[in-house]
Chains A and B, each alone.
Chain A
């Protein structure tokens, strides 16, 4: 059974601080990992993908992957009120382009001005 687990929150972070979002997954053989942002009533918007152990940075966002621990995280630096959204962790459990993503339930992030 493919499972992606996230703390649903809400996670409340003051403006300007670092928001840390976490995700665990069930299949050790998983290939690729994605973070999406979803505003209420909107579609998932891709933030980052990561496939190798370690960190990957893109602007204010850093994704971290630890395959041994089956753990992936997203750090948001200098959090802004516009970052308030639900963050979805998604995993591609196999290596094919035709495979569907398995999503977690998402973590609701609130940035307090």
Chain B
């Protein structure tokens, strides 16, 4: 069964450093997303991406964040200057085209996540 993959599984970085988190969405999916989950808290939406551009972003997704689809398979999240409060699980998700569902139903499938630890 197709699945979303993410690398690395765990990233440790020092405050102020740049990190790139990588994701390979499910191959026929068109919409891609990044979420984060701080330990003990709820899953929070960061950004969505469609047709090679950002579609929607939350208040969390400020200028230190950027996303890119550098080739036909990878989808990346870059954090330019990490802060202690960026420590969290980062999940990539993708959703399939509207296959027989009413408009607006897009099932999002999550990858295993990258645990980012900023020290």
The count of residues in chain B whose C-beta lies closer than 8 Å to any C-beta of chain A is 35
Contacts of B95 in A (CB 8 A): 97
Contacts of A32 in B (CB 8 A): 104-106
Q: Closest B-chain residue to A30, C-beta based?
A: B104
Picked from B56, B103, B107, B110, the residue with its CB within 8 Å of the CB of A43 is: B110
The A/B interface has a contact count, at CB < 8 Å, of: 80
Contacts of A31 in B (CB 8 A): 104-105
Interface residues of B (CB under 8 A from A): 30-31, 33, 35, 41-50, 55-56, 58, 89, 91, 95, 97-98, 101-113
The count of residues in chain A whose C-beta lies closer than 8 Å to any C-beta of chain B is 28
Interface residues of A (CB under 8 A from B): 31-32, 34, 36, 42-46, 49, 51-52, 88, 90, 92, 94-106
- Report which residue of B97, B108, B110, B113 has the largest number of chain A beta carbons within 10 angstroms of its beta carbon: B108
Q: Closest A-chain residue to B48, C-beta based?
A: A98
Contacts of B46 in A (CB 8 A): 100
B106 touches A46 (CB 8 A): no
